Amino acid sequence: MKFSTLASSLLALAPFSAAAEIAKRATLTQVNNFGSNPSGVRMYIYVPDNLQAKPPILTAIHYCTGTANAFYTGTPYARLADQHGFIVIYPESPNDGGCWDVSSRATLTRDGGANSNSIANMVTYTISQYDADPDRVFVAGTSSGAMMTNVMAATYPDLFKAASAYAGVAAGCFFTGTVAGWNSSCANGQSIASQDAWAQTALNMYPGYTGSRPKMMIYHGSADATIHPPNFNETMKQWSGVFGYTYGQPQQTLPNTPAAPYTKYVYGPNLVGVYGTGVTHNIPVNGAADMEWFGITGGSTTPTPTSSAVPGGPTTSAPPTEPSGCAAAQWAQCGGNGYTGCKTCASPFKCNFVNDWYSQCL
Protein backbone atom coordinates (compact mmCIF):
# COMPACT_ATOMS: atom_id res chain seq x y z
CA MET A 1 0.00 0.00 0.00
CA LYS A 2 1.01 3.60 -0.45
CA PHE A 3 1.70 4.17 3.24
CA SER A 4 3.66 0.97 3.88
CA THR A 5 6.90 2.86 4.41
CA LEU A 6 5.33 4.95 7.15
CA ALA A 7 4.42 2.27 9.66
CA SER A 8 7.72 2.04 11.50
CA SER A 9 8.27 5.80 11.64
CA LEU A 10 4.77 6.52 12.87
CA LEU A 11 5.13 3.92 15.58
CA ALA A 12 8.14 5.88 16.80
CA LEU A 13 5.95 8.83 17.79
CA ALA A 14 5.96 7.56 21.37
CA PRO A 15 9.03 6.12 23.13
CA PHE A 16 8.99 2.53 24.36
CA SER A 17 8.94 3.79 27.92
CA ALA A 18 5.69 5.64 27.22
CA ALA A 19 4.10 2.50 25.81
CA ALA A 20 5.22 0.57 28.87
CA GLU A 21 3.75 3.26 31.12
CA ILE A 22 0.39 2.88 29.39
CA ALA A 23 0.49 -0.89 29.83
CA LYS A 24 0.73 -0.51 33.63
CA ARG A 25 -2.55 1.41 33.75
CA ALA A 26 -5.92 0.76 32.19
CA THR A 27 -5.79 -1.40 29.08
CA LEU A 28 -7.01 -1.16 25.53
CA THR A 29 -10.11 -3.34 25.22
CA GLN A 30 -12.00 -4.60 22.19
CA VAL A 31 -15.76 -4.05 22.04
CA ASN A 32 -17.54 -6.58 19.84
CA ASN A 33 -21.16 -5.47 20.05
CA PHE A 34 -21.48 -1.72 19.71
CA GLY A 35 -24.46 -1.69 17.36
CA SER A 36 -24.82 -1.84 13.61
CA ASN A 37 -21.46 -2.48 11.96
CA PRO A 38 -22.15 -3.07 8.27
CA SER A 39 -18.56 -2.64 7.14
CA GLY A 40 -16.86 -4.75 9.83
CA VAL A 41 -14.80 -2.02 11.52
CA ARG A 42 -13.26 -3.21 14.79
CA MET A 43 -13.77 -1.13 17.91
CA TYR A 44 -11.23 -0.73 20.70
CA ILE A 45 -11.68 1.54 23.69
CA TYR A 46 -9.48 3.00 26.39
CA VAL A 47 -11.25 3.95 29.62
CA PRO A 48 -8.86 5.43 32.21
CA ASP A 49 -9.13 4.49 35.88
CA ASN A 50 -9.88 8.09 36.88
CA LEU A 51 -12.80 8.60 34.50
CA GLN A 52 -14.60 11.91 34.82
CA ALA A 53 -18.31 12.09 35.52
CA LYS A 54 -20.01 12.70 32.15
CA PRO A 55 -16.64 12.15 30.44
CA PRO A 56 -15.56 13.57 27.09
CA ILE A 57 -14.87 11.16 24.22
CA LEU A 58 -12.06 11.32 21.67
CA THR A 59 -12.21 9.10 18.58
CA ALA A 60 -8.59 8.56 17.44
CA ILE A 61 -8.29 7.16 13.90
CA HIS A 62 -5.12 5.42 12.71
CA TYR A 63 -3.13 5.79 9.49
CA CYS A 64 -2.80 3.33 6.58
CA THR A 65 -0.96 0.14 7.63
CA GLY A 66 -1.90 1.02 11.20
CA THR A 67 -3.96 -0.67 13.87
CA ALA A 68 -5.89 0.48 16.90
CA ASN A 69 -3.05 -0.74 19.13
CA ALA A 70 -0.39 1.04 17.07
CA PHE A 71 -2.26 4.33 17.35
CA TYR A 72 -2.87 3.69 21.05
CA THR A 73 0.84 3.21 21.77
CA GLY A 74 2.18 5.64 19.17
CA THR A 75 0.18 8.76 20.04
CA PRO A 76 -0.19 10.64 23.34
CA TYR A 77 -3.97 10.37 23.59
CA ALA A 78 -4.14 7.46 26.09
CA ARG A 79 -1.64 9.14 28.43
CA LEU A 80 -3.64 12.36 28.15
CA ALA A 81 -6.79 10.40 28.93
CA ASP A 82 -5.10 9.19 32.13
CA GLN A 83 -4.40 12.80 33.07
CA HIS A 84 -7.76 14.28 32.18
CA GLY A 85 -10.24 11.43 32.59
CA PHE A 86 -11.70 11.16 29.09
CA ILE A 87 -12.44 8.07 26.96
CA VAL A 88 -10.57 7.25 23.76
CA ILE A 89 -12.16 5.16 21.01
CA TYR A 90 -9.66 3.55 18.64
CA PRO A 91 -11.41 2.22 15.50
CA GLU A 92 -9.49 -0.33 13.42
CA SER A 93 -9.89 -0.57 9.66
CA PRO A 94 -11.15 -3.87 8.22
CA ASN A 95 -9.70 -3.11 4.78
CA ASP A 96 -6.61 -4.67 3.19
CA GLY A 97 -3.59 -2.55 4.02
CA GLY A 98 -5.32 -0.88 6.94
CA CYS A 99 -6.48 2.19 4.99
CA TRP A 100 -9.89 3.69 5.67
CA ASP A 101 -12.68 3.79 3.15
CA VAL A 102 -12.82 7.49 2.37
CA SER A 103 -13.48 6.85 -1.32
CA SER A 104 -16.81 5.05 -1.70
CA ARG A 105 -20.14 6.77 -2.17
CA ALA A 106 -21.47 4.91 0.88
CA THR A 107 -18.81 6.20 3.28
CA LEU A 108 -19.31 9.76 1.99
CA THR A 109 -23.01 9.56 2.79
CA ARG A 110 -24.53 9.82 6.25
CA ASP A 111 -25.78 6.43 7.43
CA GLY A 112 -24.49 4.96 4.18
CA GLY A 113 -23.45 1.65 5.71
CA ALA A 114 -19.68 1.99 5.29
CA ASN A 115 -16.70 2.75 7.58
CA SER A 116 -17.91 6.22 8.58
CA ASN A 117 -21.28 4.75 9.64
CA SER A 118 -19.61 2.12 11.83
CA ILE A 119 -17.38 4.69 13.55
CA ALA A 120 -20.39 6.90 14.29
CA ASN A 121 -22.13 3.93 15.90
CA MET A 122 -19.09 3.37 18.13
CA VAL A 123 -19.47 6.92 19.38
CA THR A 124 -23.19 6.69 20.11
CA TYR A 125 -22.63 3.36 21.90
CA THR A 126 -19.93 4.91 24.09
CA ILE A 127 -22.05 7.94 24.96
CA SER A 128 -24.82 5.62 26.14
CA GLN A 129 -22.63 3.02 27.84
CA TYR A 130 -20.58 5.50 29.89
CA ASP A 131 -23.08 8.35 30.26
CA ALA A 132 -20.61 10.53 28.38
CA ASP A 133 -21.15 14.19 27.61
CA PRO A 134 -22.56 14.49 24.05
CA ASP A 135 -21.35 18.09 23.94
CA ARG A 136 -17.73 16.99 24.40
CA VAL A 137 -17.18 14.45 21.64
CA PHE A 138 -14.12 14.90 19.42
CA VAL A 139 -12.29 13.19 16.56
CA ALA A 140 -8.66 13.18 15.45
CA GLY A 141 -6.58 11.21 12.98
CA THR A 142 -3.37 10.97 11.01
CA SER A 143 -2.97 10.42 7.24
CA SER A 144 -5.77 8.05 6.17
CA GLY A 145 -7.19 8.66 9.65
CA ALA A 146 -7.08 12.41 8.98
CA MET A 147 -8.98 11.84 5.75
CA MET A 148 -11.58 9.95 7.77
CA THR A 149 -11.60 12.72 10.38
CA ASN A 150 -12.68 15.17 7.68
CA VAL A 151 -15.26 12.68 6.40
CA MET A 152 -16.68 12.19 9.92
CA ALA A 153 -16.95 15.95 10.35
CA ALA A 154 -18.91 16.17 7.09
CA THR A 155 -21.14 13.11 7.49
CA TYR A 156 -21.83 13.38 11.24
CA PRO A 157 -21.48 17.11 12.06
CA ASP A 158 -24.05 16.78 14.84
CA LEU A 159 -22.00 14.10 16.62
CA PHE A 160 -18.65 15.90 16.99
CA LYS A 161 -17.79 19.26 18.52
CA ALA A 162 -14.18 19.59 17.30
CA ALA A 163 -11.70 17.78 15.08
CA SER A 164 -7.96 17.67 14.52
CA ALA A 165 -6.64 16.26 11.21
CA TYR A 166 -2.96 15.56 10.54
CA ALA A 167 -1.81 15.24 6.90
CA GLY A 168 -5.16 14.42 5.33
CA VAL A 169 -7.26 15.64 2.41
CA ALA A 170 -10.57 17.44 2.02
CA ALA A 171 -13.68 15.32 2.56
CA GLY A 172 -14.63 13.81 -0.78
CA CYS A 173 -11.26 14.43 -2.43
CA PHE A 174 -10.38 10.72 -2.37
CA PHE A 175 -13.61 9.61 -4.07
CA THR A 176 -13.15 6.72 -6.51
CA GLY A 177 -16.51 4.99 -6.19
CA THR A 178 -14.76 1.96 -4.69
CA VAL A 179 -14.13 0.83 -1.10
CA ALA A 180 -10.77 2.06 0.19
CA GLY A 181 -9.65 3.03 -3.31
CA TRP A 182 -6.49 5.01 -3.95
CA ASN A 183 -6.94 8.38 -5.67
CA SER A 184 -3.55 9.45 -7.03
CA SER A 185 -4.81 12.80 -8.33
CA CYS A 186 -5.95 13.75 -4.85
CA ALA A 187 -2.89 12.36 -3.06
CA ASN A 188 -0.59 14.22 -5.45
CA GLY A 189 -2.30 17.52 -4.78
CA GLN A 190 -3.82 17.77 -8.27
CA SER A 191 -7.49 17.92 -7.22
CA ILE A 192 -7.98 21.67 -7.17
CA ALA A 193 -11.41 23.26 -6.81
CA SER A 194 -13.00 26.45 -5.54
CA GLN A 195 -13.88 27.15 -1.93
CA ASP A 196 -17.58 26.91 -2.78
CA ALA A 197 -17.16 23.59 -4.59
CA TRP A 198 -15.28 21.98 -1.72
CA ALA A 199 -17.74 23.33 0.84
CA GLN A 200 -20.68 21.98 -1.14
CA THR A 201 -18.99 18.58 -1.36
CA ALA A 202 -18.93 18.44 2.44
CA LEU A 203 -22.45 19.81 2.86
CA ASN A 204 -23.86 17.26 0.44
CA MET A 205 -22.71 14.40 2.65
CA TYR A 206 -25.55 15.24 5.05
CA PRO A 207 -28.14 16.93 2.85
CA GLY A 208 -30.47 19.37 4.56
CA TYR A 209 -28.51 19.59 7.81
CA THR A 210 -28.48 23.14 9.22
CA GLY A 211 -27.20 22.60 12.76
CA SER A 212 -23.83 23.23 14.36
CA ARG A 213 -20.63 21.73 12.97
CA PRO A 214 -17.35 20.70 14.59
CA LYS A 215 -14.60 23.27 14.62
CA MET A 216 -11.62 22.11 12.58
CA MET A 217 -7.84 22.20 13.13
CA ILE A 218 -5.89 21.16 10.03
CA TYR A 219 -2.19 20.18 10.14
CA HIS A 220 0.12 19.59 7.17
CA GLY A 221 3.79 19.72 6.22
CA SER A 222 5.40 21.42 3.23
CA ALA A 223 7.68 18.41 2.60
CA ASP A 224 4.90 15.80 2.59
CA ALA A 225 5.66 13.55 -0.39
CA THR A 226 2.80 11.12 0.29
CA ILE A 227 -0.20 13.43 0.68
CA HIS A 228 1.17 16.42 -1.15
CA PRO A 229 1.07 19.93 0.40
CA PRO A 230 -1.65 21.47 -1.84
CA ASN A 231 -4.09 19.25 0.04
CA PHE A 232 -3.67 21.57 3.01
CA ASN A 233 -4.99 24.45 0.92
CA GLU A 234 -7.88 22.45 -0.50
CA THR A 235 -8.91 21.29 2.97
CA MET A 236 -8.72 24.85 4.29
CA LYS A 237 -10.84 25.97 1.34
CA GLN A 238 -13.46 23.37 2.20
CA TRP A 239 -13.89 24.34 5.81
CA SER A 240 -13.54 28.06 5.07
CA GLY A 241 -16.53 27.69 2.79
CA VAL A 242 -18.51 25.64 5.29
CA PHE A 243 -17.98 28.21 8.06
CA GLY A 244 -18.37 31.30 5.89
CA TYR A 245 -14.75 32.47 6.03
CA THR A 246 -12.81 33.65 2.99
CA TYR A 247 -9.99 31.30 2.07
CA GLY A 248 -6.65 33.11 1.84
CA GLN A 249 -7.73 35.80 4.32
CA PRO A 250 -7.08 34.48 7.83
CA GLN A 251 -7.76 36.78 10.74
CA GLN A 252 -4.30 36.04 12.13
CA THR A 253 -1.06 34.63 10.75
CA LEU A 254 1.20 33.47 13.58
CA PRO A 255 4.77 32.47 12.63
CA ASN A 256 6.61 29.97 14.82
CA THR A 257 3.33 28.88 16.43
CA PRO A 258 2.96 26.60 18.28
CA ALA A 259 6.73 26.44 17.65
CA ALA A 260 9.17 26.60 14.75
CA PRO A 261 8.89 25.48 11.95
CA TYR A 262 5.08 25.83 12.10
CA THR A 263 2.88 28.75 11.13
CA LYS A 264 -0.68 28.97 12.40
CA TYR A 265 -3.45 30.47 10.26
CA VAL A 266 -6.43 31.49 12.37
CA TYR A 267 -9.56 32.03 10.30
CA GLY A 268 -11.83 32.34 13.31
CA PRO A 269 -13.08 30.29 16.25
CA ASN A 270 -14.12 27.41 13.99
CA LEU A 271 -11.07 26.98 11.76
CA VAL A 272 -7.31 26.93 12.32
CA GLY A 273 -4.59 25.65 9.99
CA VAL A 274 -1.09 24.68 11.13
CA TYR A 275 1.50 24.39 8.34
CA GLY A 276 4.99 23.06 8.99
CA THR A 277 7.82 24.19 6.73
CA GLY A 278 10.05 21.21 5.97
CA VAL A 279 7.75 18.81 7.84
CA THR A 280 7.21 15.47 6.10
CA HIS A 281 4.23 13.12 6.10
CA ASN A 282 5.47 11.80 9.44
CA ILE A 283 3.97 14.83 11.17
CA PRO A 284 3.97 14.55 14.96
CA VAL A 285 0.72 14.63 16.90
CA ASN A 286 0.54 17.71 19.14
CA GLY A 287 -1.52 16.28 21.97
CA ALA A 288 -1.30 19.37 24.17
CA ALA A 289 -2.62 21.63 21.40
CA ASP A 290 -5.38 19.16 20.64
CA MET A 291 -6.46 19.15 24.29
CA GLU A 292 -6.75 22.95 24.20
CA TRP A 293 -8.59 22.87 20.87
CA PHE A 294 -11.09 20.37 22.27
CA GLY A 295 -11.53 22.41 25.44
CA ILE A 296 -10.35 19.55 27.65
CA THR A 297 -7.62 21.81 29.04
CA GLY A 298 -7.56 25.58 29.47
CA GLY A 299 -5.54 28.12 27.60
CA SER A 300 -5.89 29.44 24.09
CA THR A 301 -4.84 28.04 20.74
CA THR A 302 -4.87 31.54 19.22
CA PRO A 303 -2.12 33.55 21.01
CA THR A 304 -1.72 37.25 20.35
CA PRO A 305 0.79 37.72 17.50
CA THR A 306 3.95 39.66 18.16
CA SER A 307 3.61 41.43 14.82
CA SER A 308 0.79 42.43 12.53
CA ALA A 309 -1.13 39.57 11.03
CA VAL A 310 -0.33 38.92 7.39
CA PRO A 311 -3.30 37.80 5.28
CA GLY A 312 -2.81 34.76 3.09
CA GLY A 313 -1.87 31.12 3.39
CA PRO A 314 1.29 29.07 3.05
CA THR A 315 3.34 29.76 -0.05
CA THR A 316 5.95 27.01 0.31
CA SER A 317 4.97 24.11 -1.98
CA ALA A 318 1.30 25.01 -1.59
CA PRO A 319 0.25 28.21 -3.37
CA PRO A 320 -2.88 29.60 -1.71
CA THR A 321 -4.41 31.38 -4.66
CA GLU A 322 -7.39 30.09 -6.65
CA PRO A 323 -6.89 28.83 -10.21
CA SER A 324 -7.87 31.42 -12.79
CA GLY A 325 -11.24 31.10 -14.47
CA CYS A 326 -14.02 28.70 -13.70
CA ALA A 327 -12.74 25.23 -14.56
CA ALA A 328 -13.09 22.49 -11.97
CA ALA A 329 -10.24 19.97 -11.98
CA GLN A 330 -10.45 16.20 -12.24
CA TRP A 331 -12.33 14.69 -9.26
CA ALA A 332 -13.85 18.06 -8.31
CA GLN A 333 -17.59 18.46 -7.91
CA CYS A 334 -19.40 20.00 -10.86
CA GLY A 335 -23.10 19.60 -10.06
CA GLY A 336 -25.86 18.30 -7.81
CA ASN A 337 -28.94 19.55 -5.99
CA GLY A 338 -28.12 22.79 -4.21
CA TYR A 339 -24.67 23.05 -5.79
CA THR A 340 -23.70 26.62 -6.70
CA GLY A 341 -20.02 26.21 -7.62
CA CYS A 342 -18.23 25.87 -10.93
CA LYS A 343 -20.03 23.48 -13.29
CA THR A 344 -17.44 23.50 -16.09
CA CYS A 345 -14.70 20.86 -15.98
CA ALA A 346 -11.16 21.55 -17.09
CA SER A 347 -10.30 19.87 -20.39
CA PRO A 348 -10.35 16.93 -21.09
CA PHE A 349 -12.64 16.06 -18.16
CA LYS A 350 -16.44 15.92 -18.33
CA CYS A 351 -19.09 16.47 -15.66
CA ASN A 352 -20.47 13.00 -14.85
CA PHE A 353 -23.69 12.42 -12.92
CA VAL A 354 -23.12 10.31 -9.77
CA ASN A 355 -26.40 10.87 -7.93
CA ASP A 356 -28.96 13.64 -7.43
CA TRP A 357 -26.68 15.61 -5.14
CA TYR A 358 -23.24 14.91 -6.57
CA SER A 359 -21.69 15.11 -10.05
CA GLN A 360 -17.93 14.93 -10.56
CA CYS A 361 -15.32 15.86 -13.17
CA LEU A 362 -14.02 12.56 -14.58
Given the residues 93, 103, 118, 143, select the one marked as catalytic.
Answer: 143
Question: Is the C-alpha dihedral spanning 294, 35, 97, 183 positive or negative?
Answer: negative
Would you call 143 a catalytic residue per the annotation? yes
With 0-12 CB in 10 A as exposed, 13-18 as middle and 19+ as buried, what is 130?
Answer: middle
| 340 burial via Cβ count (<10 Å: 0-12, 13-18, 19+) | exposed
| Residues recognised as catalytic | 143
